[in-house]
Chains A and B, each alone.
Chain A
Amino acid sequence: KAGVTQTPRYLIKTRGQQVTLSCSPISGHRSVSWYQQTPGQGLQFLFEYFSETQRNKGNFPGRFSGRQFSNSRSEMNVSTLELGDSALYLCASSQNPKTEAFFGQGTRLTVV
């Protein structure tokens, strides 16, 4: 069974630009969650989608948004990038996100 696939693996963007990250979940998983990982804050929850609906949202500004498609694939968008958005963005897919979340390898975003 294929794991969670995130693309691209690495990105370098300039302040003020926007970026879109993609996540393909494990086949059959309908829940997709996004997390931001930084050395100072650790892993922080961004949002969770289930059957194309945002079900939970973390404490991030509105510049961070996402969506989920009918095939469960998900995208995350960050607009007006700031230096502090530099981080590893992780996507996790689940059948039951409370008990198991399978993570992709992440997208390393660097904002310069």
Chain B
Amino acid sequence: QKEVEQDPGPLSVPEGAIVSLNCTYSNSAFQYFMWYRQYSRKGPELLMYTYSSGNKEDGRFTAQVDKSSKYISLFIRDSQPSDSATYLCAMSGGFGNEKLTFGTGTRLTIIP
């Protein structure tokens, strides 16, 4: 079983819809939680990160972390065709563990 599980999709939604992307994880040492967006033939781009449990909002994007359930989410409001990409969750642990553990990514398409 992988440390981080992410539904690979693909996920297609109409423009303007709210998108919900999710990851679950098994390693309770994870403390930092990140979402990346990756366009085709590009490197991943950091969208936002959250430390421990809670919510964080940045424009149309909201990240939620529930450490008790080992579950993180990314919500995209008023989705745009330019949001079409692969979304990757990533996590890292405590002191001395600087590596990021990634989910496999969810491919999202926003239909105009």
Chain A interface (Cβ < 8 Å from any Cβ of B): 4, 31, 33, 35, 41-45, 48, 50, 55-56, 58, 90, 92, 97-106
Summed over the interface, the residue pairs from A and B with CB atoms below 8 Å come to a total of 69
Chain B interface (Cβ < 8 Å from any Cβ of A): 31-32, 34, 36, 41-46, 49, 51, 88, 90, 92-93, 96-105
Complex interface: chain A residues within 8 A of B46 (CB): 100-102
A99 touches B88 (CB 8 A): no
B98 touches A105 (CB 8 A): no
B103 touches A42 (CB 8 A): yes
Partner of A42, one of B34, B49, B98, B104: B104
CB distance from B112 to the nearest CB of A (A): 27
**Contact of A97 with B92 at beta-carbon distance under 8 Å, contacts A33-B98, A90-B43 already known:** yes
A103 touches B92 (CB 8 A): no
A105 touches B99 (CB 8 A): no
B98 touches A104 (CB 8 A): no
Q: How far is the CA of A48 from the CA of B97 in the complex (A)?
A: 10
Q: How far is the CA of A97 from the CA of B101 in the complex (A)?
A: 12
Extra contacts, 6 of them, besides A56-B99, A101-B46 (Cβ < 8 A), are A42-B104, A43-B90, A45-B101, A97-B92, A97-B98, A99-B92
Instruction: Name the residue of chain A whose CB is nearest to the CB of B94.
Output: A98
Partner of A33, one of B49, B99, B104: B99
